[in-house]
Structure 1
């Protein structure tokens, strides 16, 4: 445990938690904030008393604690979410550009507007012909310094308007989406699931009107853009789950994992989207660390925080509850 003494309390800090798939990063941070406003780790006794009174008055203690996160995860994604408390929030920018590690599952045969399973199906394409060897041979194109085009269904703005607005309203893009240079330090196929899985394409489908709007948005920059389905014709394939495989990658900040999956599926003559996404490392915070690795911090389990939110449980002889004791094993105290 770090050397935290009663005289050093309260502290500013960084720590990692394991975000579950489903909730937004902001909702997770809000839940953590409630717990932190009950802890002597982060607040003085006077602040704790004020926070308790605010709760009884149903008043939000917005300014009583400063909290933030070092890089949003989509609702679909799980894994490392770095949290900053107090002066720790000033260190969070370090984690936006740091190296990150991900595991992601690609499901072939269908691409979606969001490039993941939470979106709507835009186009179907053959997938039965794709082999493990073919995927592995294409990975080299995505390693090293690469140019990556962000998805049109993203919040990035062009001439003050979000890209997704062009796509949804059928407004032609004034110019091509500018590719960004990112670095893929490593990329490997770690599991070939084939059809042995339970993943399925999204039931939600793009309507003909939505496809036409997207084609209209792209007409100036991709004249041949088509949302036309090219479904698998094999009768055998129609009775099987489409092929899925798992990639592991280490990438620079700003990399779109969903775009790598989308572009890789195109490279093997198919379509594809992300069905699982786990951030396994962000900077010095990781889901798992080696026993002799003193520079890496592992992350606080989400189920522990969920239990504490309902009932923090008894305190030990030093006045710490279970979730606080576990946090003390993983906390990176920010001095000064």
Structure 2
């Protein structure tokens, strides 16, 4: 019997969405499966990844378009070129003035219909090439990056911590035009960012519409606080009717095709 339908997995951190599909395809090389996913998760991210099998791929667009829920942890006082811990530190900012109450007030500005600039390190296309290709090759963009309308249905602060074990990425010394506020300075040496533990973190829960970049959201919150910020952890909690840990497979379960077929029958 040829399988069709949808299932969702808890994508592990460190694997790209495309890598996940390739690994599943290799489980049944003789009967080639047509696979697709309902919206990319960065390698850094984990959580709900909706996968279509054969005719199920026709329904993926509804999951690309649907609302999604994320939980993210951002570190304050540091900025990276990718807006997450995969990148290089390019700037530092003050944090002593930031409190839990301050963050709670600021995030209300980011709910509803807002304009958002996507990260330069993203899969969006410009003039036939993906943005991250320009960034990684050190090429100038052929035109200015434009803000896009996105919808944040709800945004709440879950935690604010001054003690943690976050590791600092490599420092990159170069001139940047990231348009930070006047309090931000370019990172010059290791002494400025000797330990990320000296910088506070905050955790948010976001319900948003299609096209929203949580990396950009955390980055923008840092700027609005008069500092800087980047994502150190990102989890997709829900996408449409798929809810993490409720009706998703763990990655090790996906290595057995019978578990996938059983999940397809349920959905």
Deviation at 1:329, TM superposition (A): 5.2
8 Å Cα contact 2:113-2:150 kept in structure 1: yes
**Counterpart secondary structure, 2:26:** helix
TM-score (norm 1): 0.70
Offset at residue 155 of structure 1 (A) = 3.6
Q: Aligned partners of 1:239, 1:159: CA distance in 2, in Å? A: 37
Residue 201 (1) aligns with residue 168 (2) = yes
Tell me whether 1:302 sits opposite 2:255 in the alignment: no
Contact 2:166/2:196 (<8 A) preserved? no
CA RMSD of aligned residues (A): 3.0
Could you say which structure has the greater relative contact order, defined with CA pairs below 8 angstroms and 6 or more residues apart?
A: 2
1:177-223: CA deviations, max 9, x gaps?
1111111011000122x222111321x12233xx3xx44xx7xxx69
Gaps (5+ residues) in structure 2? none
**Alpha-carbon distance in structure 2 between the residues aligned to 1:268 and 1:227:** 11
- Map 1:1-336 to 2 at 5 A: 9-35=1-27, 37=28, 51=29, 61=30, 64-164=32-132, 167=135, 173=141, 175-192=143-160, 194-202=161-169, 204-208=170-174, 211=175, 214-215=176-177, 228-229=185-186, 240-289=197-246, 298-306=247-255, 308=256, 323=259, 328=262, 331-333=265-267
Distance 1:114 1:108 in 2: 15
SS in 1 for 2:249: coil
Secondary structure, counterpart of 2:87 in structure 1: coil
* Secondary structure in structure 1 of the residue aligned to 2:70: strand
Q: 1:329 and 1:170 mapped to 2: Cα distance?
A: 44
Equivalenced residues, count: 263
Unaligned runs of 5+ in 1: 1-8, 38-50, 52-60, 290-297, 313-320
Structure 1 residues 303, 162: closer, same or farther in 2, change over 3 A? closer
| CA apart distance, 1:32 | 1.9
Largest Rg, 1 or 2: 1
1:70 CA displacement: 1.1
Greater shift, 69-78 or 170-179, is seen at: 170-179
The farther-off stretch of 241-250 and 170-179 is 170-179
Matched-pair contact (CA < 8 Å) for 2:122–2:130: yes
Runs of 4+ in 1 over 6 A off after TM superposition: 222-227
Question: Which one has the bigger strand percentage?
Answer: 2
For 2:19 and 2:143, the matched residues in 1 are separated by 35
User: Quick check: 1:102–1:277 contact (8 Å CA) kept in 2?
Assistant: yes
Q: 1:187 to 1:103 in 2, by over 3 A?
A: same
